[in-house]
Structure 1
């Protein structure tokens, strides 16, 4: 009852104050009619409070996000199901699902009545122009009397997470020259050149094609032997993102950091979907261990980039150390490194250039950004710094592309592939 009294609305409090005032005035003036009116006005909100506080029906709530992960600027649908699991009909319900302001604000509904064991389906849409991970819910239900005197708020504990990922730019279905090593076709050619006797056989297994039986090995071992299937080696690579605050400028979606995050997400998704085994590294070191599409790397990468923020660190050393370790372990240069940077100084560019070893394929994407006050004030200086850094990286054997926004990445990707072909033709 005390909780219900605390839930009196402005109208309810006004009735209580008016009723009490009328009763006091009735005693002072000796007016019985005024006393009756005062008692009626005072008792009405109290009766409503008693009725609402004794409400015994129970509600169950379920929520579904479709999809639970979406790129910036796209919409997701939220479906709510509210069920009255008691034997009593509900009264007037005001339902509100708590939604962050970045997703569009409040979602409110008014339900007149839910019959016993009845259900109500509700739905609304949300979208965000800012990447991140947002909490949707919990659902709150306001119980009110028909006169609007009392409102009690009851909240469910259920909430869901919506992940808004960076914008994904589709890239051409072209493999970077030199980035993929040891495919199945090359193995087949090597076997053909070496001769059938050099084939390593294995024991026959139920279901093997009899046309692959290796008769010489069968005679030698005294049991049925078959040629091994072609070994398709899965290439691996490293995706690097420079998150240092000092390397990026501009705010909002036009800033260089947001464009760099979008470019990193686009490249990572593209490479994973082509079958590459990737890992993710930042200037602070390794953030995600190597995994493939089957290992859920795409979802992990997008979830990580959705909440990526600029770091306060000013050094690339931890990240470059992780790159050196990866390239040093690579066999004959096998492996691809795609690094996305903001602004690099001459010394930083030399450090990055020195990372490359052997014949590994290393591609640097320099992001200049397109907006913000810094773009108007330091655009020329940024362009000059990018050109100088690009020259130093190319001298170190890196392929370099410069973009102003992630939208230019598709053309730059084809440019990087063409640069690789020229690199191979020149024999550098």
Structure 2
């Protein structure tokens, strides 16, 4: 197909032919012939369909925002003659990435890589890849599509937060054992003091204080025997 420059060359050649015909000057006709000859050579340059093996890989497919993502392009010439004027154009979201390929001898392999922008977060489609072959004058070009589109996932950047270390284990100390007080008899309430033990009788009157008497088998002070409540016979 013709490029904008090719269409302009064609239109200019036709105008020069018209001027040469109207004015009768041969010079414009010579210039017009030169333009048409250049267009014919350009079409002959780009008309054959090249035999190419194209592979494009995006790595990595998941990347934090701002980190590097690279597309690796491999092109192999399977034809019987050398190719030049190849250009790869890769679509990336709303933009494009264009890379010029070096001359490809027959059966040769060329590998090029180019960075992909990762300034915006989200799922960004990459591709499909367009391979363009143009003539040296830029009058015509041939465009072919290779491969399928892939998705590059640009994630938010994560920041590592410091984790507090646990406190050092403390030394546990055993509490001193406490002695349980001995149970007292409910029938004989006693009040113990540091000097004597006072016991109450059944009549409600306190018995006379008596020095505490300690038993060999118990640590509870002994109380005097309760007096009998029976009435003596008359």
The TM-score, its normalising length taken from structure 2, stands at: 0.62
Aligned-residue Cα RMSD (Å) equals 2.4
Separation in 2, partners of 1:138, 1:51: 25
2:8 pairs with 1:14 = yes
Structure 1 residues 41 and 167: alpha-carbon distance in aligned structure 2, compared to 1, 3 A threshold? closer
2:49 pairs with 1:49 = no
- SS of the equivalent of 2:14 reads helix
Report if the CA contact (8 A) 1:57-1:87 is conserved. no
* Structure 1 portions without partners, runs of 5+: 1-6, 176-428
Separation in 2, partners of 1:153, 1:129: 29
C-alpha displacement of 1:72: 2.1
Larger helix percent: 1
Structure 1 residues 132 and 146: alpha-carbon distance in aligned structure 2, compared to 1, 3 A threshold? same
- SS of the equivalent of 1:128 reads coil
Structure 1 residues 120 and 72: alpha-carbon distance in aligned structure 2, compared to 1, 3 A threshold? same
Look up the match of 2:18.
24
- SS of the equivalent of 2:63 reads strand
2:81 pairs with 1:88 = yes
2:105 pairs with 1:115 = yes
Report if the CA contact (8 A) 2:69-2:118 is conserved. no
Report if the CA contact (8 A) 1:18-1:42 is conserved. no
Look up the match of 2:158.
168
* Structure 2 portions without partners, runs of 5+: 166-234
Q: Which has the higher contact order (CA 8 A, sep 6+)?
A: 2
- SS of the equivalent of 2:92 reads coil
Look up the match of 2:190.
none
Look up the match of 2:121.
131
- SS of the equivalent of 2:105 reads coil
**Greater C-alpha radius of gyration:** 2
Separation in 1, partners of 2:28, 2:162: 84
Q: Deviations over 1:36-86 (max 9, x none)?
A: 332222232133123312x23222222222221112222222211122222
Report if the CA contact (8 A) 1:99-1:107 is conserved. yes
Separation in 1, partners of 2:49, 2:119: 42
Larger strand percent: 2
Q: Deviations over 1:331-353 (max 9, x none)?
A: xxxxxxxxxxxxxxxxxxxxxxx
Separation in 1, partners of 2:37, 2:30: 11
